[in-house]
Chains A and B, each alone.
Chain A
C-alpha cells in the first residue's frame, strides 16, 4: 500500500543493527530516486497522452485519413456513403422569404415549436435610404412572431411598408456541415461526428448534453433540445438523402432558392449552381470549411 513506508521499515532494521542514526543524505538520496522514478513515469504517461492527442487532431481534420475506417456500406442498407460528398447552395436572388422551408423542417424533424430552436431559419436584410447598415431580422423576431400570431407558422411582418427601402434580400441559414467542424472537435465524448459523405451528425443516444458544441458553432446552427436533453441541429435530412430524396426544406421551396446535391456528381444541381454563380461561404476565416454556398450576399451576412 505504501512502498515508501515499507522501505522505511526495512532500513530501520538494518540501521538498528549498527546503532547508527540514519544519515540525512541517505534518505535524501532514496527520496530523490523515488521522486526521479515517479517523475519519469509521469513524463512517459504525459508524452504518450500528448502523442495520442497530436495524432488525433489531424486525423479528425482530414477526411482522407478518416475515410478508410468506414465500410462501403453505411448504416443505411443499400446506401454507399463513401460514394457521395453532399453540399448545399442558397440562391438568395430567388428566395421570397415565404418560410415554408422553416415550417417543413420543424415538422419533418420534430423540432420543438418554440422561437428558440431551429434547424434552419431565414434572415431578412433591409437597407433603408440614408443608412449604411442593414436592419436584420429572422422569423424568430418578436414582431414577426406577433405578425404570424402562432408558433407553428411563420411570416415576416410588413414593418417596412412605409419605409424607403434601398435594397433588401432574404438569406436562408442552416448547419454548414463543415470540413473541419469545431463542434465535432469540442465534443468530449465523440457523440457528434462527420460521416464519409460530409454530413455532421449527432448520436442522441450518446450525447451527454454539455452544450460545448452549441458554444463552438460560429453560425449558431446548434441548439439544445429540451425534449431529448441533447444537442440538436440540421442533418440535411439524412434519413431522406440516404434514400435518394431531397432535404425537406429543399423539397418544399417554391422558387428553388435551396439547392442540394452531390459534389461527386459533375451534373448535379449543386455543381451546376457553384459553376454558374460566384459563391462564397460564411465566416471563411474560421478555417471550418463550410459546405453551404451562397451567391449574391453582402459582407454584412455572417
Chain B
C-alpha cells in the first residue's frame, strides 16, 4: 500500500489529518523550486553589473562584465525547469502566442524575453571593443563568429567607446526595473494564489526580490573567486568589500521581511495556524532551520568583516564561505515556499510530506543538471567573451592587435591604460 502513497503520504496530525484525495500528488516538485532560484540569480548578478555600468561604482569594475555574462547564462536556463515540468512541452509557446492575460504565468514569456533582449544588447555594448579585437585576431570559425558579432561595426575610437559606455549604462539602468519586475513577478506567481495559506501574502514579491539579490550576489562572489583561483589572478579586495556591503544590506532586508512575515502569521494566528505549527515542527523543520542558520551565520561573518575592515586572504575566505551559505539559504527558502506551501493541505486539517524522486523528469538529478547546466553555459560564454581581458587598441582607433602584440593580441603592459579608459 505504501507504493500508492509514495509521492506524498498522509501524516496523521493531532486530530483528523485529512487532506483532499487529489492533493496526495504534489503538483509542483523540485523543478519549480529550482525555477525561481535560477531566476533569482539573474536579478542579483544583474544588479551588481548595474552598480558599475549605471552608477559608476568603481569597486565593482572587476566583476561588472562577469556579472552581465552570469546574468545572461542564468536567464537562458531560468525557463528550462518550467519547460521540463510542463505536461505538453510542445505547447509551451502557446503561453506567448495566445497568452491569457489574467494569468500570472502568461507574463513570464514576455518579461523574460524583454529582459533577455536587454541583456544581449547590454553585453554587446559592454564587450564591443573586445569583439572587434577578436574579430581581427581570430582565425577560422571562431573568427567568423566574432565578425558576425561585430554587426559590421569596427569603430573603436575614443568617442565610439564613449557611446558604448553610455548605452551600456542606459541599458543597465533600464535593466534595474526589469530585474525588479521579473523577480517581483515570480513572487506574485505564488503570493497571488489565495487557495494556499502559506503562499497567499502581499510580502511574497518583496521576499522573493530581496532574496534574489542575496543569492545572485552570493553566486557572483563564488564565480569570481573560483574563476580567479582557476586563472591564478589576484582577487580585488575593494571589489570583495563592495560585494560584501551589497550582500549585507540585501541580507538584512530579506531577513527583516521574512521575520515580519512569520511574526504576522504567529501574531494574527492566521487560519489553520495549528496546522502551520505542526508543519513547521514536522516536515519543514530541517529546511527552515537550514534557511535560518545559513542566513544568520553569513550575517554575523559579514558584519565582522565590514566592521573590522578585514582584508587579504581572510576576507576572501570568509566571503566565499558566507556566499556559499547564502546560496544554500536562498535555495532552502525557495524549497520552504514552493514545497512547504503544498505540504500544508488546502483543508487546513492535514499535512503532506514531499519526498522528491532521484531520477526522472521531476527528479533531483535532472533539476541539479539544469542548475549545473547554467554554470557550464556561463563557462562557454566566458570562453567566447572573456570578461577580464584588457582591450588592446591602437592610436588610429582601429585595432590591429595581432600586428601590435603578436598571437594573443593582448598587451599586458597596457592593462593600466585600458583600465583608465574604461573608467571613463
A contact set with B: CB distance below 8 Å? 1-2, 4-5, 8-9, 12, 22, 27, 31, 34-35, 38, 42, 52-53, 56-57, 60, 114-118, 121, 123, 131, 133-142, 145-146, 173, 182, 184-190, 206-212, 214-224, 228-230, 286, 300, 302
Q: Is the CB of B349 within 8 A of A136?
A: yes
B32 to chain A, nearest CB (A): 9
Residue of chain A at shortest CB distance from B102: A185
Measured in the bound complex, the distance between the Cα atoms of B87 and A301 in whole Å is 32
Say yes or no: is B402 at the interface (Cβ < 8 Å to chain A): no
Q: A57-B102, A116-B25 are in contact. Are A217 and B85 (CB under 8 A)?
A: no
Say yes or no: is B88 at the interface (Cβ < 8 Å to chain A): yes
Measured in the bound complex, the distance between the Cα atoms of B157 and A221 in whole Å is 65
Q: A142-B1, A142-B10, A220-B346 are in contact. Are A186 and B103 (CB under 8 A)?
A: yes
Q: Is the CB of A207 within 8 A of B170?
A: no
List, in ascending order, chain B residues with CB within 8 A of A207's CB. 87-88, 91
Which of B89, B152, B346 gathers most chain A CB within 10 Å?
B346
List, in ascending order, chain A residues with CB within 8 A of B106's CB. 188-189
Q: Which 6 pairs show the lowest CB-CB distances between chains A and B? A: A209-B87, A220-B20, A229-B87, A140-B21, A218-B195, A136-B18
Q: A52-B101, A229-B87, A230-B87 are in contact. Are A31 and B170 (CB under 8 A)?
A: yes
| Among candidates B21, B155, B157, residue contacting A115 with C-beta atoms closer than 8 Å | B21
Report, as a range, how many residues of chain B touch the other chain.
35 or more
| Among candidates A4, A223, A300, residue contacting B22 with C-beta atoms closer than 8 Å | A223
Residue of chain A at shortest CB distance from B23: A220
**What are 14 sample pairs from A and B whose C-beta atoms fall under 8 A apart?**
A35-B170, A115-B5, A115-B24, A134-B15, A136-B18, A141-B10, A142-B5, A189-B100, A206-B91, A211-B87, A217-B195, A230-B88, A302-B347, A302-B348
Q: Is the CB of B87 within 8 A of A182?
A: no
- B137-185 contacts to A, CB under 8 A, are 151-153, 155, 157, 159-160, 162-163, 166-167, 170, 174
Q: Is the CB of A223 within 8 A of B25?
A: yes
B contact set with A: CB distance below 8 Å? 1, 4-5, 7, 10, 15-16, 18-25, 27-28, 82, 85-89, 91-92, 94-95, 98-106, 108, 151-153, 155, 157, 159-160, 162-163, 166-167, 170, 174, 193-196, 342, 346-349
A126 to chain B, nearest CB (A): 9
List, in ascending order, chain B residues with CB within 8 A of A2's CB. 151, 153
Q: Is the CB of B24 within 8 A of A140?
A: yes
Q: Is the CB of B88 within 8 A of A208?
A: yes
List, in ascending order, chain B residues with CB within 8 A of A57's CB. 102
Residue of chain A at shortest CB distance from B24: A116
Q: A22-B159, A115-B21, A189-B98 are in contact. Are A215 and B27 (CB under 8 A)?
A: yes
Q: A116-B25, A212-B105 are in contact. Are A220 and B347 (CB under 8 A)?
A: yes
Q: A215-B28, A223-B25 are in contact. Are A137 and B163 (CB under 8 A)?
A: no
Q: Is the CB of B21 within 8 A of A118?
A: yes
B160 to chain A, nearest CB (A): 6
Q: Is the CB of B152 within 8 A of A1?
A: yes
Q: Is the CB of B87 within 8 A of A187?
A: no
With A35-B170, A211-B28, A217-B195 already in contact, 12 other A-B pairs whose C-beta atoms are closer than 8 Å: A116-B25, A117-B25, A135-B16, A138-B21, A142-B1, A186-B103, A188-B99, A189-B99, A207-B88, A212-B105, A218-B194, A220-B21
A251 to chain B, nearest CB (A): 22
List, in ascending order, chain A residues with CB within 8 A of B102's CB. 53, 56-57, 60, 184-186
Q: Is the CB of A9 within 8 A of B4?
A: no
| Among candidates A5, A56, A302, residue contacting B153 with C-beta atoms closer than 8 Å | A5
Q: Is the CB of A186 within 8 A of B196?
A: no
Q: Is the CB of A208 within 8 A of B101?
A: no
Measured in the bound complex, the distance between the Cα atoms of B413 and A29 in whole Å is 36
Q: A52-B101, A215-B193 are in contact. Are A208 and B87 (CB under 8 A)?
A: yes
Q: Is the CB of A116 within 8 A of B85?
A: no
Residue of chain A at shortest CB distance from B345: A220
| Among candidates B20, B105, B166, B170, residue contacting A27 with C-beta atoms closer than 8 Å | B166
Q: Is the CB of B101 within 8 A of A219?
A: no
| Among candidates B20, B27, B155, B167, residue contacting A9 with C-beta atoms closer than 8 Å | B155
A9 to chain B, nearest CB (A): 7
Measured in the bound complex, the distance between the Cα atoms of B26 and A220 in whole Å is 11
List, in ascending order, chain B residues with CB within 8 A of A228's CB. 87
B99 to chain A, nearest CB (A): 7
B111 to chain A, nearest CB (A): 11
List, in ascending order, chain B residues with CB within 8 A of A209's CB. 86-88
